[in-house]
Amino acid sequence: MTVAGSLLHGMKEVEVWLQTFAPGSRTSIHRHSCEVVFIVLKGSGTLILASSSHGPNPGKPQELPIFSNSTFHIPVNDVHQVNTCGTILNW
């Protein structure tokens, strides 16, 4: 669900979303043309992040634990994927 977005609320480079992922689900491997910050409200999983993946020499993907009350920043165009564990993941 988009809480605030560029066209809907007059923002040019920011979108605010509320997302819920089912246990055992994952996002596709993807990137965004803006920075991404997410705050995990509930649940656990892993964030796969390939730092500097938009340049000629992408960094080795990192696997970062996701847990309730954690916050993550993903730079512009860095490739990433979110995988949930056996719990619902909300951010």
Binding residues for Zn(2+): 30, 32, 80
| Tokens at 20, concatenated | 């819920």
Q: How many helices (H) and strands (E) does the chain have?
A: 1, 9
CA atoms of 67 and 23, how far apart (whole Å) = 13
By DSSP bridging, strand 89-90 and strand 79-84 are unpaired
Q: For residues 83 and 26, is the Cβ–Cβ distance under 8 A?
A: yes
Residue whose tokens read 């809480």: 3
Binding-site residues sit at 30, 32, 80
